[in-house]
Structure 1
Amino acid sequence: MKIEKFILGKFQSNCYMLTNGNEVTIIDPGSYEVENIIKYMNMNKMQLKRILLTHGHFDHIMGLKIFLNYFENVEIVIGEEEINFLENEKLNLSEMLNEKLKFDINKLNLIKVKENDEIDNFLVINTPGHTIGSKSYYFKSENIMFVGDFIFENAIGRTDFPTGNFMQLKDSIKKILIFKDELIIMSGHGRNTVLGKERKRLEKY
Structure 2
Amino acid sequence: MSISTLQDYEKFIEIFPNLYRATFNLQFGPLNWPVSIFLINIEPSNNVWILIDTADPDNISKLFTALSQHFSKFPNYQLKYILLTHDHFDHTGSISRLLDEYEDIKLVLGEPESFLTNNKNVNGKIHTQQLATVEGKITVDKDRIVMIKRGKEEEFEFFNVLKPIFIADSNLGSISYLHIPTNCIMVGDSLMNLSTSQCSKPVITLPFTSTNSHLNSVKESIKNISRLEDVKIVFPAHDHSQNGLSINDVRAFADTLKK
TM-score, normalising length from structure 2?
A: 0.66
Asked whether 1:103 is paired with 2:156, we answer no
Asked whether 1:30 is paired with 2:55, we answer yes
- C-alpha distance in structure 2 between counterparts of 1:9 and 1:111, whole Å: 29
Report if aligned partners of 1:76, 1:108 keep a CA contact under 8 Å in 2.
Answer: no
Look up the SS of the partner of 2:218 in the other structure: helix
Greater helix content = 1
Residues paired across the two proteins, number: 193
Asked whether 1:3 is paired with 2:47, we answer no
Report if aligned partners of 2:184, 2:231 keep a CA contact under 8 Å in 1.
Answer: no
Partner of 2:91: 60
Q: CA RMSD in A?
A: 2.5
1:36 Cα deviation after fit: 1.5
Partner of 2:188: 148
Partner of 1:179: 228
Code of the aligned partner of 2:110 = G
Higher mean Cα deviation, 34-43 or 75-84? Answer: 34-43
- C-alpha distance in structure 2 between counterparts of 1:42 and 1:172, whole Å: 34
Structure 2 CA distance for partners of 1:108 and 1:102, relative to 1, 3 Å: farther
Structure 2 CA distance for partners of 1:6 and 1:203, relative to 1, 3 Å: same
Structure 2 CA distance for partners of 1:104 and 1:188, relative to 1, 3 Å: same
Code of the aligned partner of 1:25 = I
1:78-89 matched pairs, under 5 angstroms: 78-82=109-113, 84=115, 87-89=131-133
Report if aligned partners of 2:164, 2:175 keep a CA contact under 8 Å in 1.
Answer: yes
Structure 2 CA distance for partners of 1:65 and 1:28, relative to 1, 3 Å: same
Look up the SS of the partner of 1:105 in the other structure: strand
1:188 Cα deviation after fit: 0.7
Report if aligned partners of 2:226, 2:250 keep a CA contact under 8 Å in 1.
Answer: no
- C-alpha distance in structure 1 between counterparts of 2:251 and 2:104, whole Å: 40
Report if aligned partners of 1:152, 1:193 keep a CA contact under 8 Å in 2.
Answer: no
1:145 Cα deviation after fit: 0.6
Structure 2 CA distance for partners of 1:123 and 1:29, relative to 1, 3 Å: same
Structure 2 CA distance for partners of 1:59 and 1:159, relative to 1, 3 Å: same
Code of the aligned partner of 2:19 = I
Structure 1: gaps spanning 5 or more residues = 95-99
Code of the aligned partner of 2:53 = D
1:156-195 matched pairs, under 5 angstroms: 156-160=206-210, 165-180=214-229, 183-190=232-239, 191=241, 192-195=244-247
Asked whether 1:15 is paired with 2:37, we answer yes
- C-alpha distance in structure 2 between counterparts of 1:36 and 1:108, whole Å: 28
Q: Deviations over 1:152-203 (max 9, x none)?
A: 2311222218xx7122222222322222496210111113211101222212
- C-alpha distance in structure 2 between counterparts of 1:64 and 1:125, whole Å: 22
Structure 2 CA distance for partners of 1:77 and 1:204, relative to 1, 3 Å: same
Structure 2 CA distance for partners of 1:157 and 1:108, relative to 1, 3 Å: farther
* Greater C-alpha Rg: 2
1:78 Cα deviation after fit: 1.1
Higher mean Cα deviation, 176-185 or 53-62? Answer: 176-185
